[in-house]
Amino acid sequence: GLKIAVIGGGSSYTPELVEGFIRYYNELPVRELWLVDIDAGLHKLNIVGNLAKRMVEKSGLPIEVHLTTDRRKAIAGADFVSTQMRVGMLDARGRDESIPLKYGVIGQETTGPGGMMKALRTIPVLLDVCRDIEELAPNAWLLNFTNPAGMVTEAILKYSNVRSIGLCNAPIGLIKQTSAKYNVEPDRIYAEFVGLNHLHWITRVDVEGEDKLDEMLADTTGYSATNVPAREWDPEFLKSLGAIPSYYLKYFYMTDAMLEEQLDSVKTGGNRAEVVKRVEAELFELYNDPELKDKPKQLEQRGGAFYSEAAINLMRSLHNGTNDIQTLNVANKGTIDFLPDDASIEVNCVVTKNGPLPLPLTKIPRSAVGLMHAVKTYEQLAIDAAVTGDRGLAIQAMAHHPLVPSVEVAIQMLDDMLEANKEYLPQF
Ligand code: NAD
Ligand code: G6P
Ligand code: MN
Ligand code: MN
């Protein structure tokens, strides 16, 4: 049987994973599931962990569920390590979302200055997890969900020897929404992705062999998730772009309207961190009910709904060597010819037993090249700033982010955010 360690096990998403392990037990025989958290997360870990135990008990499967704060014990000998942690918890997310707004800049947890701060807090912790994996489970696969997932994955690929793959629920979300629209099974759909995590474009959608891209581009609602405001695309823009943009691209393509939307929501329901706090409180109350033995429907209110499908699909394919195609965050190595080889990119890959192999791209929208390159430049500077604590690199990263209007704003905002995060930034 397999040993799985989940770092950040107290996450409200954990029941998703457990449901997947139960459903696919025959292909992925999990014997030990170790849910790891820190002291501050113990309360959540206990509630989620007990639900996990009830779910397993109901299934009748011989899966042991362990709850622990001993990360090394959990990692030792693991076959798969999956990470879903939030360094600084939702309060830090709230600051990532609110501080940029003071400077008239988008405040978002993975996009823009907020995402940069999350990267600075998170990358050193993930690299520390990697040190433990290198020592205690050198053959394990690390599936990284921790955001900003593309940047964190790139840091791991560059600065550790761990076999790591970055994952996002958005590509599966596109497939699910297309499957509902055309009333066909997901495996009858082929979609080609190009770009970076939370910055991808879909350049091909075949439904049962029929090219549906133009038809999908005519639908200005695009595809979406609950965490990003549903604003319609301009029909002429969408048609001439010739690719379906990630919902996160709304922050780049409709910056003014999205900023207005954020400023409005602060006055009404609060920023996304505050909304998530309320959703979480509701979820944990449900999880705490000893009669509950399944993943509740309410989990779909989270933006990362169904993310476990991505995780389980990947573990199943790596374990069994099924050579199927999945959209993953991997090292570029020439796939996108204008980006560095060591850049992480989000593209379709064949998942072999030895890991994912990116497929050659059939299309890159010409108008997407500049933005992809600019955001990757910011990401690489920010990753190196996170690892070194170098202020000059942090200034360069912030100033070169396409959503930051000037050097003056970049430096003021950086100082403000470094100060607000200092508890979590020992490297600075
Ligand atoms: P959460 O706030 O519930 O945090 C999960 C757990 O991480 C908490 O229980 C917390 O105590 C724990 N934690 C904090 N610091 C830790 C540390 N140093 N070591 C171990 N555990 C630690 O978060 P969430 O909303 O469940 O999201 C978890 C992470 O996954 C976030 O980074 C989020 O952005 C990411 N996420 C990514 C995707 C994706 O598409 N890649 C989807 C969903 C969530
Ligand atoms: C999804 C993204 C995830 C992100 C989540 C946020 O769209 O792919 O990477 O973590 O939304 O959802 P939340 O409910 O935390 O706002
Ligand atoms: Mn250590
Ligand atoms: Mn994501």
Starting from the CA of residue 128, give the closest ligand: 3
What is the per-residue pLDDT across 235-273, written as a single tens digit (0 to 9) for each?
999 999 999 999 999 999 999 999 999 999 999 989 999
d(CA 286, CA 295): 10
* ipTM of the modeled complex: 0.97
Q: Is the CB of 13 under 6 A from ligand 1?
A: yes
- pLDDT, tens digit, 9 for 90 and up, residues 347-394: 999 999 999 999 999 999 999 999 999 999 999 999 999 999 999 999
Asked if residue 40 lies in contact with residue 116, where contact means CB atoms within 8 angstroms, the answer is no
Res 44 pLDDT > 90: yes
The SS3 call for residue 403 is coil
Tell me the pLDDT tens digit for each residue of 141-154: 999 999 999 999 99
Of 152, 163, 7, residue with least CA distance to 75: 7
- Considering only residues 107 and 303, tell me which one the structure prediction assigns the higher pLDDT: 107
Ligand minimally distant from the alpha carbon of residue 301: 2
Contact 278, 12 (CB under 8 A): no
Name the percent of the chain lying above pLDDT 70: 100
Distance 8 CA to ligand 1 centre (A): 6
Catalytic-residue membership of 182: no
Confidence band for 302, pLDDT divided at 50, 70 and 90: confident
| pTM for the full predicted model | 0.97
Taking 80 as the threshold, does the pLDDT of residue 170 lie above it? yes
* Burial class of residue 8 in the structure, from the number of CB atoms within 10 Å of its CB (0-12 exposed, 13-18 middle, 19+ buried): buried
Confidence of residue 59 (pLDDT cuts 50, 70, 90): very high
**45 CA from centroid of ligand 3 (Å):** 21
The tokens for 306 are: 């169904």
The tokens for 216 are: 């999908």
* CA neighbor of 87 nearest in space, from 378, 414, 425, 379: 425
